[in-house]
Amino acid sequence: MVTEIPLIKIKDLSKRFNREWIFRNLTYQFNRGSIYVFTGPNGSGKSTLLQVITGAIPPTDGSLTYYNVNNSEIAIDNIYKKIAVATPYMDLIEEFTLDEHLSFHFGMRNIRYELTLAELKNIMYLENAGSKHIQNFSSGMKQRLKLGLAFYTEADIVFLDEPGTNLDQTAFNWYYNQLLKVPKECTVIIASNNPQEYPENSKRIDILSYK
Ligand SMILES: Nc1ncnc2c1ncn2[C@@H]1O[C@H](COP(=O)(O)OP(=O)(O)OP(=O)(O)O)[C@@H](O)[C@H]1O
């Protein structure tokens, strides 16, 4: 029997903007080592749910608890050390070159597999862009950088919102291969309305069920 190790438990989680409930009474347990997908049409609340779970915005009601491997609770203020995020609303530092951005980011967070920054640039197909400023990156290059930072920062959970955005077919295939390479104890949570962005056996949470 596979033992399910809890990572995040949410109970009666609800979010309202003004008078509109985006989701209500969502109770769910996310375990270690699985891929979860929030599904639903445009505007249904996938990004909002992702942002509530990452602690970026507060819920209106309900509780959200993160757990260590030994089942002790993690204070919500400390979860940023456990998560890696790639979302359309996450800003890259446009004034930095790629090399400066990588040094800055990995000055604060550990890199997976003890990769060198040169190796990471190769993995992201950005090996020739080290001295280029992020503001001069194409949208696909920016997306590869966001995804590379999310996949290769040591973290228990990788959050991805619309990961295939701005990727051509080659880069999309690259994304999907990176997703499959995430360490097996790591959890991935994706907001997506494109079934090609996640494996068929991912666990799905249909946001429309929580209106
Ligand atoms: N800060 C905010 N203030 C008010 N309403 C908001 C705010 N953020 C999002 N909304 C509303 O919440 C609803 C859900 O938006 P959200 O971006 O979570 O949907 P989504 O499922 O991720 O959509 P998409 O597939 O288009 O990315 C929308 O009606 C949106 O207008």
Global confidence as pTM: 0.95
Do the domain assignments include residue 65?
yes
Can you tell me the distance from the alpha carbon of 1 to that of 128, in angstroms, rounded to the nearest whole number?
47
**In angstroms, what is the span from residue 133 Cα to ligand 1's centroid?**
31
Do the domain assignments include residue 98?
yes
Give, using CA atoms, the residue closest to atom 3 of ligand 1. Answer: 17
Do the domain assignments include residue 61?
yes
Which range of residues forms the domain containing residue 156?
Answer: 6-210
Nearest to 137 by CA among 176, 166, 179, 107: 166
Do the domain assignments include residue 121?
yes
**In terms of DSSP bridges, do strands 61-67 and 73-74 run parallel, antiparallel, or are they unpaired?**
antiparallel
Q: How confident is the model over 22-62, as pLDDT tens digits? A: 999 999 999 999 999 999 999 999 999 999 999 999 999 99
Is the pLDDT confidence value at 7 over 90? yes
Do the domain assignments include residue 87?
yes
Residues contacting ligand 1 via CB (< 6 Å): 17, 22, 40, 42-48, 191, 193
Q: How far is CA 85 from the centre of its chain?
A: 4
CATH number for 10: 3.40.50.300
**In angstroms, what is the span from residue 9 Cα to ligand 1's centroid?**
23
**In angstroms, what is the span from residue 47 Cα to ligand 1's centroid?**
7
In the chain, the amino acid numbered 205 is: I
Do the domain assignments include residue 166?
yes
Can you tell me the distance from the alpha carbon of 94 to that of 134, in angstroms, rounded to the nearest whole number?
5
**122 — pLDDT class (breaks 50, 70, 90):** very high
Question: To test ligand 1's pocket by mutation, which of 14, 17, 37, 210 has the most ligand atoms within 8 angstroms of CB?
Answer: 17
Number of domains in the chain: 1
In the chain, the amino acid numbered 182 is: V
**In angstroms, what is the span from residue 164 Cα to ligand 1's centroid?**
19
Could you identify the atom of ligand 1 that is nearest to the CA of residue 193? 25
175/77: higher pLDDT: 175
Do the domain assignments include residue 38?
yes
Can you tell me the distance from the alpha carbon of 42 to that of 173, in angstroms, rounded to the nearest whole number?
24
Do the domain assignments include residue 1?
no
